[in-house]
Amino acid sequence: MRRDGRMLDLDAYLVFLAVVFTVTVLPGPDHVYLGAVALRDGRVAGLIAAAGMAASMGVHTLVATTGLGVVLAAAPAALIAIRAVGAAYLVVLGAGALRAARRARAGSEELSATPGGRVFWRAALVNLTNPKIVLFFLAFLPQFVDADAGPAAGQLLLLGLSFVAVGFIVDSAYALLGGALHDYLDARGTRRAAIATANGVILLSLAGVIVGSIVVDTVAVPGPV
């Protein structure tokens, strides 16, 4: 703890928050996923999905700040396996969205909004299967630890949770943008089946991006000599 009683220097903490905002505001796969959810089911669903991602980001924070992250980072095969599970899950979600859209066009099924609980846990699982977040935390958070401000573990936890809070605010903004597009298309009379089709295509595209990154990382990792 610092002599003034603060765990972290305020100026350094504000710089950290500014950097975090810059990092989180850049469009990424999570934002695309949130936009896809809000595009299909509206802004409330997008905000629920953002909350699900914030919850899983909290898990990433605990993993990174308790030493488990170091263990995970030392197991590249496990990292690839977790990401592969995430890609497979997106394929399941995307294919399901396309099937529902096809049935709706055929008149055999009416599209309904996804229940909030399912939206939350789907988003949490999508984010949780991206272990690269833990690796990022391991490299990023220690740069802002103050050696004169007490135990590093407490500082890392505070920094990690602050990252989660800023990320949730930014994610919510992306969800609201997706919800605004949903409302615009709905007002123009766009068929829900067409929106559901777009949702499915986006999810399958995200899965393809993850698979591509896995292939690139696998090729980049040198094999045993």
Cα 128 to Cα 52: distance, rounded to the nearest angstrom: 10
Question: 33: burial class by Cβ within 10 Å (0-12, 13-18, 19+)?
Answer: buried
Q: What is the pLDDT along the chain (225 residues), one digit of tens a residue?
A: 455 445 677 888 999 999 999 999 999 999 999 999 999 999 999 999 999 999 999 999 999 988 888 888 888 889 999 999 999 999 999 999 999 888 888 765 667 888 999 999 999 999 999 999 999 999 999 999 887 777 888 889 999 999 999 999 999 999 999 999 999 988 887 778 888 899 999 999 999 999 999 998 887 655 544
Q: Is residue 162 part of a domain?
A: yes
Asked if the structure places residue 12 within a domain, the reply is no
Residue 154 lies in a domain: yes
Rg (CA), the chain: 20
Q: Which long-range contacts (CB under 8 A, 24 or more apart) does 78-84 make?
A: 78/131, 79/131, 79/132, 79/135, 80/214, 80/217, 80/218, 82/129, 82/130, 82/131, 83/129, 83/130, 83/131, 83/132, 83/210, 83/213, 83/214, 84/211, 84/214
| Residue 106 within a domain | yes
Domain-located, residue 73: yes
Residue 17 lies in a domain: no
- With a CB cutoff of 8 Å and minimum separation 6, the contacts of 159 are 8, 16, 141, 144, 145
Owning domain of residue 177? 31-220
User: Does the residue 4 lie in any domain?
Assistant: no
Number of domains in the chain: 1
